[in-house]
Structure 1
Amino acid sequence: MTQQEWIDRDFYADLGVPSTASAEEIKRAYRKLARQLHPDANPNDSTAEERFKAVSEAHAVLSDPATRTEYDQTRQLYRAGAFRRAGTRTGAGTGPAGGMGGRGGFDFSDLFGAGSPFTTDESGFGDVFGDLFRRSGTHTSASRPRRGSDVEAETRLPLRQAVTGVVLPLQVSGPTACPTCHGSGARPGTTPRRCPSCGGSGTLTRNQGGFGFSESCDDCRGTGVIVDAPCPDCQGTGVGHRTRTINVRIPPGVADGQRIRLPAHGEPGLRGAPSGDLYVTVGVDPDPVFGRDGDDLTVTVPVGFAELTLGTTISVPTLDGRVSVKIPPGTPSGRTFRLRERGVPRRGGRSGDLLVTVQVAVPPRLGQAATDALRAYEKAEKATGFDPRADWPGRR
């Protein structure tokens, strides 16, 4: 992508978000579009494939705070007309900036005067102007090594696997180095040659009015090399597309929505640069038995009224089997018992706890013998003076 293409592209429109969108809004928009336009979901659809590439490029620019700031500032300068008007000067102008103020009425004070966002208190517009173009040149000089983009993926797993940890095979589709030319873009048996126009830098510099402007070399399209015999599989781009399977180790205790980083498993770098990283967002499905509260597991065990009143021992499930819990006589319904280190593993080596809550289960119907016995108990209970609502605030 040339410098002019980079500036002319509306990456916000590609993702369908406003220029004021937050980083989280940009991420959500990218994930939604990536799922819709992914080549695996749209086989043999060239339009969807091109949109997928455009969305990926937009996310790569806008997801990096520094790159996004640079992109926004550069577009502001171009919308102000500074570069276009400055580029038309031939040195015949009469303005004070060395021929920069003639035809077109361009005045640096319009762009860098009081109140301008591009004016600095100490160094003035010169440093900002030069630094912006020095940094933007890194986007156009494809001949330089460039780290590969990071890749986002998602997976879901049951709660028990999230707590104990698991190794999952994960399929990831995306750009990769062409297996035929190994990323060189040249037909096997041939070698790209250095571009004679730019000397292999990928950029050309022209001076105008005391300022230097870097542009992508048209002959090599910013790559610094010329491929005389393009690779038949990638048409000289050096980039292919494939689906690969990666074994992802999910550590014990992963939480719902947590991101796991796999270094160097993202998109391949250019010109021998390192690959990007793979970030896997883990979703955890609820469990029919256990709940989770931070590093603690929770479980609710139904018990009978007589068990709580008279006391008993109940069998409680754990992640690795079962354990016995003693219920003292007179235990109220809703009481929670804490079983130490039976919960979620922590990084420090110790685990959270298992919180066991006992809850009275009321029988939907009773036989005659049980009913008669319960009536007799009710009378005996009243004779002791026990009132279940004695301390209830809503009694009166």
Structure 2
Amino acid sequence: MSNDPYDILGVSKDASQDEIKKAYRRLAKSLHPDLHPDDPGKQAEFQAVSAAYDLLRDAEKRRRFDAGEIDASGQERPQPHYYHHYASENEGRRYDGGPRYEGFSGGFGRGTEDMSDLYSELFGRRARGGGTTHQEFHRRGPDLRYHLSVDFLDAVRGAKRTVTMPDGRSIELTVPAGVSDGQVLRLRGKGGPGNGDGPPGDAFVTIAVKPHPVFSRDGDNIEMELPITVDEAVLGHKVDVPTVSGPVSMTIPEGASSGQRLRLKGKGVQRRNGSGDQMVRLKIVLPKKIDDEMRRLAERWRKASDFDPRADLRRMT
């Protein structure tokens, strides 16, 4: 697989941010580890897609990658360095037993420069005569990337997790309340160690939220479908409704219909600057077996009522 993020996502270099986002979502959905639990190849592809999107979704990182300043992993590319040697008033003499320099003002010069000395300087170490002066090569450590699947309720409420990074280290991770599917968490300083005095890199953890059998999410709102009986719909009733923070009591209004949506204010995703709501969609459910009493009630009501639930539908068509 190419390590070019554009190739990985299957987009052109002039693709818009919206096109990049759509390509990522399409690939992430088909390569999700939950769909391929025993396929390391698919999991590796998923991580590559996540890493590519993490780089291209950031406008500054994308600009720097396009300019050749960083590589596909977000690391700084070595830039060309030009060394300028300046002759002293004692030009042409030997200093400390070191190589003899003919006078020149800049660039790589015209004289008898020792090439091994030049290469040592390029890589951060310069040898001079009988003694050696060490100049360490300082570089920031590499970033590490990881994929973490979390349960729906843990994503909504927040949780603590231990993550094993690609290099085998284990780190403690706080999954913040309200984290969304595909969100990338940045753990500063938890990446690979740097060279010399260079700082460590960062760890990037892509979150995959597992679906829940009851709840779904729309932004900071939680949605669910609530089954109710015919008599609860007709007469109204107070019932217990599950929420992401525990059951609450809710009143079904008299004359409720299937598809009607009721709001539980403040029972969605909790955030510091406010909370979402829980939207409850009603669904009238009949028993699997209709008994004689229910049948008689329905027959009497049909004979006595002229209600037509499809009248508006006919007018519109």
The TM-score bracket by the shorter chain reads 0.5 to 0.7
CA contact (8 A) 1:310 1:329 kept: yes
CA contact (8 A) 1:12 1:19 kept: no
TM-fit CA distance, 1:299: 1.2
TM-fit CA distance, 1:16: 7.9
C-alpha separation in 2, matches of 1:260 and 1:168: 13
CA contact (8 A) 2:149 2:209 kept: yes
CA contact (8 A) 1:257 1:281 kept: yes
TM-fit CA distance, 1:17: 9.2
**Partner residue of 1:66?**
64
Q: Which runs of 5+ in 1 are unaligned?
A: 1-9, 33-40, 43-55, 73-136, 175-242
TM-fit CA distance, 1:323: 0.9
TM-fit CA distance, 1:355: 0.8
CA contact (8 A) 2:144 2:166 kept: no
TM-score (norm. length: structure 1): 0.49
- Correspondences of 1:1-396 after superposition (within 5 Å): 65-66=63-64, 69-70=67-68, 141=123, 143-174=136-167, 243-348=168-273, 350-381=274-305, 385-393=306-314
Q: Secondary structure at the match of 1:329?
A: coil
TM-fit CA distance, 1:18: 9.4
C-alpha separation in 1, matches of 2:313 and 2:218: 29
- State the one-letter code of the partner of 2:163: L
Q: Secondary structure at the match of 2:293?
A: helix
CA contact (8 A) 1:153 1:279 kept: yes
- State the one-letter code of the partner of 1:149: P
C-alpha separation in 2, matches of 1:18 and 1:292: 29
C-alpha separation in 2, matches of 1:255 and 1:274: 30
Q: Give per-residue Cα distances to partners, 1:176-213, cap 9 Å, x unaligned.
A: xxxxxxxxxxxxxxxxxxxxxxxxxxxxxxxxxxxxxx
TM-fit CA distance, 1:289: 1.1
- State the one-letter code of the partner of 1:331: A
CA contact (8 A) 1:389 1:395 kept: no
- State the one-letter code of the partner of 1:306: D
C-alpha separation in 1, matches of 2:3 and 2:316: 65
- State the one-letter code of the partner of 1:378: R
Q: Secondary structure at the match of 2:242?
A: strand
C-alpha separation in 2, matches of 1:18 and 1:307: 53
- State the one-letter code of the partner of 1:307: E
C-alpha separation in 2, matches of 1:314 and 1:71: 61
Structure-2 change in CA distance of 1:20 and 1:325 (3 Å)? closer
Structure-2 change in CA distance of 1:355 and 1:144 (3 Å)? same
TM-fit CA distance, 1:12: 5.2
Q: Secondary structure at the match of 1:70?
A: coil
C-alpha separation in 2, matches of 1:18 and 1:326: 51
TM-fit CA distance, 1:263: 0.2
C-alpha separation in 1, matches of 2:195 and 2:303: 86
C-alpha separation in 1, matches of 2:267 and 2:150: 20
C-alpha separation in 2, matches of 1:369 and 1:353: 39
C-alpha separation in 2, matches of 1:173 and 1:374: 64
TM-fit CA distance, 1:313: 1.2
Structure-2 change in CA distance of 1:354 and 1:11 (3 Å)? closer
Structure-2 change in CA distance of 1:374 and 1:69 (3 Å)? same
CA contact (8 A) 1:12 1:18 kept: no
**Identical aligned residues as a percent:** 31
TM-fit CA distance, 1:280: 0.5
The alignment's C-alpha RMSD in Å is: 3.7
TM-fit CA distance, 1:71: 7.3
C-alpha separation in 1, matches of 2:219 and 2:263: 14
Instruction: Name the stretch that deviates more: 322-331 or 288-297.
Output: 322-331
TM-fit CA distance, 1:11: 6.7
Q: Secondary structure at the match of 1:275?
A: coil
C-alpha separation in 1, matches of 2:10 and 2:270: 42
CA contact (8 A) 1:148 1:268 kept: yes
- State the one-letter code of the partner of 1:320: S
TM-score (norm. length: structure 2): 0.60
Q: Secondary structure at the match of 2:271?
A: coil
Structure number with the bigger relative contact order (C-alpha 8 A, sep ≥ 6) is 1
- State the one-letter code of the partner of 2:160: V
**Partner residue of 1:208?**
none
C-alpha separation in 1, matches of 2:4 and 2:194: 24
C-alpha separation in 2, matches of 1:387 and 1:170: 59
Structure-2 change in CA distance of 1:266 and 1:365 (3 Å)? same
Q: Which runs of 5+ in 2 are unaligned?
A: 32-39, 42-50, 56-60, 71-118, 125-135
